[in-house]
Structure 1
């Protein structure tokens, strides 16, 4: 019995060490993604939208609370053959690991929404880094994938937040169309807020929340409405430019 226990402990230690080495190596790999400056007039900016002639938009879901409707959302996305981006907090990943795997296996982007959904601009640089790396490790362990898309909680950022994200291999993604689904105004409100939005256009990034009360109920019509307007819905990873671009004052990516 003692020998079996010792063997299990040794195997566990080996697994932890292998995982740690793999994760450590992944940061070096991921960090090579972000090489382009996001500085505009002396200020660091996240990506709000993308300048493109193609009629493409990115639909995104912040996952920080609840998962009652996650499967329904995934089923609707599958029905329409649409792929999107989920920005997840570490706390959400801890509570719903099976949902994280389901999202990944369905072919959607996995993005970081920080570990604990704090106002990142109020944290020290080391705390900012840990907010990124902690959830990164969890998702890496669950799916084997390295995230490189980050959305700051509350949309709160400053120069240090974006630079820290960049140094750790992340593009910081904001949005230029807010569905306001988090206000729980209802399905019609979500649809009109997005589809009639003056900012909606080629390269838009649309903000939704998987845990909002009416989002899943509105999703089917939202997708149909976007398609009726001629838009192809893609994940953020397929919308943004990874390099060879510059930013304008509105946080819009422009290809060089």
Structure 2
């Protein structure tokens, strides 16, 4: 007998303590998140822009790239940002066997533990894709799955005006905003980098405070 597969929105409702899309709507706080790094093309520029604007963000990194660019991981942490686990090789987790799924998470944890001294509590599955069995495993191992409720669509190599428009249009108190600090060689994330300054100005002017995901969700960054 096969069980009905739950959608992501159903999983969020069923596992509210383990699966988050946003923070509280009671406070005008928002979290910028950046996936798929670290790389040498865009991650340093994203970090420069965040530093110039005095904003801390959360980076969901790939274990394979973290081990290739340990210096960038250390810079992220040194500059006050938070690191989350985005799997080892950007695998589509629901398509993996139990062993391979666990290996994607644990291998990344091991790399990061060695580089930053903690295993992240925050996990963002690639493509936001995860199934119920995997959510339960995350809960049992004290992880927190963090997807998003604002998608910049910056992975489409949009220009800064488009990135800015997509974010501003959707942002509300408690929003978790998805952007990227790395990607395929064919992707141009210049728009992401260039949008950071105007984005921070506009949202601060509208009364928003920028925080890391652990601050937004009132959780620890490590397990």
By how many angstroms is 1:45 displaced? 6.9
**Residue 214, structure 1, aligned to residue 196, structure 2:** no
Q: For residue 101 of structure 1, what is the aligned residue in structure 2?
A: 74
**Residue 223, structure 1, aligned to residue 196, structure 2:** no
SS in 1 for 2:19: coil
1: CA distance between counterparts of 2:119 and 2:15? 30
Q: For residue 156 of structure 1, what is the aligned residue in structure 2?
A: 129
By how many angstroms is 1:224 displaced? 1.3
- Per-residue CA deviation, residues 114-133 of structure 1 (Å, 9 max, x unaligned), is 01111111112222211111
Q: Which blocks of at least 5 consecutive residues in structure 2 are unaligned?
A: 1-10, 183-188
RMSD: 2.1
SS in 1 for 2:20: coil
By how many angstroms is 1:208 displaced? 0.3
- Per-residue CA deviation, residues 70-89 of structure 1 (Å, 9 max, x unaligned), is 22221221222211100001
By how many angstroms is 1:101 displaced? 0.4
- Per-residue CA deviation, residues 86-112 of structure 1 (Å, 9 max, x unaligned), is 000111112211100000111111000
1: CA distance between counterparts of 2:125 and 2:168? 24
Q: For residue 203 of structure 1, what is the aligned residue in structure 2?
A: 174
- Per-residue CA deviation, residues 24-82 of structure 1 (Å, 9 max, x unaligned), is xxxxxxxxxxxxxx773589972111223110001000024733122222122122221
45-54 vs 106-115, greater mean Cα deviation: 45-54
Aligned pairs for 1:37-116 within 5 A: 40-41=13-14, 46-64=19-37, 66-116=39-89
SS in 2 for 1:86: strand
1: CA distance between counterparts of 2:138 and 2:40? 27
SS in 1 for 2:35: strand
TM-score by length of 2: 0.84
1: CA distance between counterparts of 2:17 and 2:98? 15
SS in 1 for 2:31: strand
User: How many residue pairs get matched?
Assistant: 204
